[in-house]
Structures are given as structure tokens and as C-alpha cells.
Amino acid sequence: MASPASPARFSRNEYDVAVIGGGLLGSSIAWGLGRIGQRTTVLDEGDIAKRASRANFALVWVQSKGMGMPEYTGWTVRASENWSRLAAELAAQTSVDVHHQRPGGFHLALSESELEARAVSLKRLHNQPGATDYAIEVLDHDQVKKRLPHIGPDVVGGTYCPLDGHVNSLKFFRALHTGLAAFGVDYRPEHPVSAIRHENGEFRITTPKGEIRAAKIVLAAGNANMTLAPMVGLHAPMGPTRGQVLVTERTVPFLDFPLTTLRQTDEGTVMIGDSKEDELDDRGHRLPIDAVMADRARRMFPLLERLSIIRMWSGIRVMPEDGFPIYDQSETCPGAFVSCCHSGVTLAPNHAFDIAPMVAAGALDLDRLGAFSARRFTTQAPASSGYY
């Protein structure tokens, strides 16, 4: 791990790299840049930002990802395999335990038709040419009950993947920002970016608190990338959606495995959430949707009936137009990069250990990342990613 670059070589407003966006995606890339000694700043709106993290379910998830883009399956498996390394480095650097666990994960079905559709979908995913092979099991009720003894009679079965897991995303966010400070990364809240110019081989970035200059930039501002990307000759087509999340009071540990729609946190609460709405206002909340989510959770685990819901909220998820990540570099403004993805938690190790060194080197590895270019939107019809 390299030491941070010496600030003496730079003025307050000059950097090797400016990362625009301080959420989980931007922070993971910035942490990776600081780790290898890049003089880095993070320009962020701050606490007023409508972070995708607000709709985050904190899963490190592999199963179901990659339908229509087999490269995404391999990219996700790589992240899952490297998550323990990221968690260990953060703990050693910051003493923050992000509670990463990889016991495997379940997707439960409440009808035979649901289970059959799930099995068919996973078979199609794995039959794609070039798909990364990994273990996944389709289980009946009794087989699931051996591992999840508290399921209800309405659960007919489910699928299990040993590569799935989860973290405490709030502690992960705290660890990243603690690590950024330790690496000497300059985090600047209340610095929303309104304009970017590429002049004389450097980027001049306009914020309400003055101009920032950097040799390279990374756009990691979630849905705001749609506006920022064209400023540097890039394209970031997004289709953001709203998700609703419910959280119960704390209870005794009963769930040792995360589910696509339900997980018990290390603090004992139970998170419930699987909604996907074509709505971009996170101020509202639709109780009928909450009722459906809560009812399905109760049918899966009847013991949840006795627990109170203590928090509920909506959040706007970052969602590229076809659901798959976008990683691109600008041809007209060399040194400008864009990164967009829905799975900011799952893919964090790749962003820290793979994307950050590529940015520092000044070029993406197209042999590994070429499929994720936004150029795909001009050459093929959108596919469904299965975004869990």
C-alpha cells in the first residue's frame, strides 16, 4: 500500500484526481486512489445529497446478476471474492468493523410458479455464452428449512448461492471516509459541481466554493452523471427508480443468511425491501407497497408478525438504463472517466482495487471493461440485468 502523495507538490485546489460524488461508489474509488498515493479530492454535495445509499440494502450479491451481459456475472463474482480483503484492509486502517459476512444467500419463493420461474431464469443466465460458472442450488421447502428453520409453510422453496453475503453499509461508509482522511484525501462537502472544462491538459471544475483543478476526473455522482458526463464528452444514460425500505425493532438472532428481500443486520433489526417504482420523488411513501412487502416477509418468517416497524423510508436508486454498470473514458477529454452502477456495495472491491489503479494509470483496461462502455447503448437493445 503506497503512502499518500505529499501535499507540498500541490496548491490547495490542484490534484492528481478529482472524484465527483462522495457516496459509496465515489468513496470506494477515492479510497483506492488514496491507497496508491494519488493526490485526490472528493467533491460532494454533502448531507443534502439524495444518496442512493438511502435505498441501499447492503447486500453483496451474485446470484441472478448478468442476464443479457455475462461479463457482469464475472465482474460480480470477482467482487464477492475480494470483499473479505477490502473489509480486512479497512479494519486494519480504521479499526472499523464493517461486519462483512459471506454465509451464502437465499431467494425464497411463495408459490410453485415463482420457484419454477426463478429456476428457469437462473438456467438461462448460466447458459449464456461466456458466462462465469458458479454454484447455485434450487431447493424445496424441506431443504430450505434445514438452513432457515424459521420459515413458514407458505415457502415452497428457494435458491441458494454460497457467494452471497452482506455488510453493515453505514459502517462501511464510515470506514471509507475515515480511510480517506488517513490517506490524505481531501473530502469537500457542499461542493456540487455545476461545470467542467478541459483546458491545457487539465480539468477546471466549477463549484459554489471556487474552482478546483485536477489532471484527471472521475464522475461518480450517481444519477447526476447524466448531466455531468456530456461536459467531458461522455454518455451516462440512466433510468433511476425509487425503492422503499422497512426496518423492524431489534430481535434475537434468527436469520443467519441474507435474502434478496429481507436480512437481519448485525444490530438485530430486520430490513425488508424489494420495491421498484418508476418514481423519482423520495419524499413520498406508498403504504400499499409497504403492506405487500411486510405481508410477504411475514409469510416467509411468521415470527416477524410480533415485531414493530420502527423506520420506513424511500430512496432513489442509481440505475443505468439497462441495469448494468457503465465504465468509460473520454476520447475528447483524456483523463475523464465515468462510473455508474446500481451495486455500489457489491462492487466496492472492484472499484477500490481495479478501477482506481486504472484511473491512476490514465486508461481503463478495455479487455476487462470494454463490455461496460456506454457505447453499447448505440449498438444493441437494452437487456434486463436482474438488479438484486
Q: What tens digit of pLDDT does each residue of 297-337 get?
A: 999 999 999 999 999 988 888 889 999 999 999 999 999 99
Q: What gap in Å lies between CA 356 and CA 256, rounded to an integer?
A: 33
Do 373 and 345 belong to one domain? yes
The dihedral through the CA atoms of 251, 254, 257, 260 has a sign that is negative
The CATH number linked to 189 is 3.50.50.60
In a domain, 90, yes or no: no
Q: How confident is the model at residue 1 (pLDDT cuts 50, 70, 90)?
A: low
In this structure, the answer to whether residues 117 and 225 fall within a common structural domain is no
23 and 39 inside one domain: yes
Q: Report pLDDT digits (tens) over 140-177.
A: 999 999 999 999 999 999 999 999 999 999 999 999 99
For residue 80, being part of any structural domain is answered with no
Q: Are residues 175 and 305 in the same domain?
A: no
Average pLDDT, the chain: 91
- Is there a domain that residue 276 lies in? yes
Domain harbouring 267, CATH code: 3.30.9.10
What is residue 54's predicted lDDT score, i.e. its pLDDT? 61
Q: Let me know whether 336 and 216 are in one domain.
A: yes
Question: Where is the domain boundary, 122, 137, 162?
Answer: 162
Query: What pLDDT, on the 0 to 100 scale, is given for residue 385?
Result: 42
* Residue 13 resides in a domain: yes
pLDDT at residue 281, as a whole number: 72
In three state form, how does the secondary structure of the chain look? CCCCCCHHHCCCCEEEEEEECCCHHHHHHHHHHHHCCCCEEEECCCCCCCCHHHHCCCEECCCCCCCCCHHHHHHHHHHHHHHHHHHHHHHHHHCCCCCCECCCEEEEECCHHHHHHHHHHHHHHHCCCCCCCCCCEEEEHHHHHHHCCCCCCCCCEEEEECCCEECCHHHHHHHHHHHHHHCCCEEECCCCCCEEEEECCEEEEEECCEEEEEEEEEECCHHHHHHHHHHHCCCCCECCEEEEEEEECCCCCCCCCCECCEEECCCCCEEECCCCECCCCCCCCCHHHHHHHHHHHHHHCHHHHHCCEEEEEEEEECCECCCCCEEEECCCCCCEEEEECCCCCCCHHHHHHHHHHHHHHCCCCHHHHHHHCHHHHHCCCCCCCCCC
| Pairing status of strand 262-264 against strand 270-272 | antiparallel
For residue 180, name the pLDDT band (cuts at 50, 70, 90): very high
- Answer yes or no: is 307 within a domain: yes
Q: How many domains does the chain have?
A: 3
Domain co-membership, 142 together with 185: no
Are 350 and 245 found together in one domain? no
Q: 45 with 53: CB under 8 angstroms?
A: no
pLDDT score recorded for residue 10: 45
Which range among 43-52, 78-87, 217-226 shows the weakest confidence by mean pLDDT? Answer: 43-52
Is the pLDDT reported for residue 292 higher than 90? yes
Q: Give a yes or no: residue 349 inside a domain.
A: yes
* Least confident piece of the model among 38-47, 140-149, 244-253, 277-286: 277-286
**pLDDT exceeds cutoff 90 at 274:** no
| 286 and 144 part of one domain | no
Cβ(74)–Cβ(185) below 8 Å:
no
Furthest C-alpha separation in the chain: 67
Whether residue 229 sits in one domain with residue 181: yes
End of a domain among 119, 135, 162? 162
So what's the pLDDT on residue 383? 44
Looking at 284, 317, 350, the residue that finishes a domain is 317
Query: Is pLDDT of 285 > 90?
Result: no
Q: Are residues 177 and 47 in the same domain?
A: yes
Tell me, yes or no, whether 63 lies in a domain: no
Residue 199 confidence class, pLDDT cut points 50, 70, 90: very high
Measured from the Cβ of residue 88, the count of other Cβ atoms closer than 10 Å reads 12
d(CA 247, CA 272): 6
Q: Per-residue pLDDT tens for 50-94?
A: 555 666 889 999 999 999 999 999 999 999 999 999 999 999 999
Which domain covers residue 364, as residue numbers? 7-56+170-236+322-378
Confidence band, pLDDT 50/70/90 cuts, at residue 239? confident
Is residue 78 included in any domain, yes or no? Answer: no
Q: Are residues 271 and 311 in the same domain?
A: yes
Whether residues 254 and 301 share a domain: the answer is: yes
pLDDT at 4: 46
